[in-house]
Amino acid sequence: MTLVFSNKPKVNYIRFNLTLVRHAETYANAEGIIQGILDTELSNTGYHQSRALGLHLQYHRFTHIYSSDLKRAAEKDAP
């Protein structure tokens, strides 16, 4: 009779989906300006991009949402 012992700890894995969304186009983006923490607003194109994203994600269910407090992120998150 052979006894086999394993000293490997049992690992429980957690599966989850991660959705990352970048802000839509701003007026600064359209002019080629890297804005960093500058608080700029969405351009007209950016507004339409964010609306299209909202339609695409409307039936997804999220347990957590984290967002910047800058205008370009807040405008996107508004209903």
Binding residues for substrate: 22-29, 72
Binding residues: 22-29, 72
| HEC profile of 22-75 | CCCCEHHHHCCCCCCCCCCCECHHHHHHHHHHHHHHCCCCCCCCCCCCCHHHHH
